[in-house]
Amino acid sequence: MSRRTQFNKKRKFVADGCFRAELNEFLMKELAENGYSGVEVRPTPQRTEIIILATRTQDVLGDKGRRIRELAAVIQKRFGFSDEGVELYAEKINSRGLCAIAQCESLRYKLLGGLAVRRACYGVLRFVMESGAKGCEVIVSGKLRAQRAKSMKFVDGFMVHSGEPSRKFIDVAIRHVHLRQGVLGLKVKIMLPQDPTGKNGPKTPLPDVVTIQDPKDETNPAAPYSETKQQ
């Protein structure tokens, strides 16, 4: 992030984290209906590049790129970038079913549309597992039917909860949906598959995966023989 004032290292990391968090919150509100799935910030010597990940990139760009230019102008004014100091790009995500943010937003709009909680959650669960995920967990908490608040959990497949694999393989998204009876909390966790290309999941396999190599080809001797080993 290019700033006019010079920070020491600690202040710079804090400022970068605040910038990313505020930018993510702003884009989440603006592009929620367009399948917003995250943002990447790439600082370069000339300018700062912001890549918006979404399922419907054409809606993010707008008519002849008008909407993305408006977003760039707002970000430039809010964070004090110089002219031509920030550039926005829209990138389509590889698999919508393996993105927790996209599925959480999908579940949110299903509930806002009046669909039953169980039917909406099982629909998300089935779509995620059909997209190639190893596991999925959907939690909905709040006043679902009665006045008393409760929590419902829907699980399918395999899920890790601790250790380094939980950081690499688990994609988590949390959203809140405002209904007439109150606020519901939504949480979607997706266990990504191992992908050697790194597009749909981490390149490294799980630590407990054991790969058995094929034995080497050996020529069978025609007749028995003995070897004399020198001492």
99 secondary structure, DSSP code:
-
- Please state the rounded mean pLDDT for residues 138-155: 91
- Mean pLDDT, rounded, of the chain: 86
82-129 pLDDT tens trace: 877 888 888 888 888 888 988 998 899 899 998 999 999 999 999 999
Q: Does the structure show a pLDDT above 90 at 181?
A: no
Left if phi > 0, otherwise alpha if psi is -120 to 50, otherwise beta: which for 150?
beta
Q: What pLDDT, on the 0 to 100 scale, is given for residue 223? A: 83
Q: Which helix (H) or strand (E) holds 58?
A: helix 57-61
Compare 144 and 127 and report the one with higher pLDDT: 127
Q: What is the pTM of this model?
A: 0.76
CB 193 within 8 A of CB 201: yes
Share of the chain above pLDDT 90, in %: 25
Cα→Cα distances 57→63, 66, 123, 163, 207, Å: 12, 13, 24, 35, 36
189-227 pLDDT tens trace: 999 998 888 888 888 888 888 888 888 888 887 888 887
Q: Does the structure show a pLDDT above 60 at 4?
A: no
Q: What pLDDT, on the 0 to 100 scale, is given for residue 66? A: 86
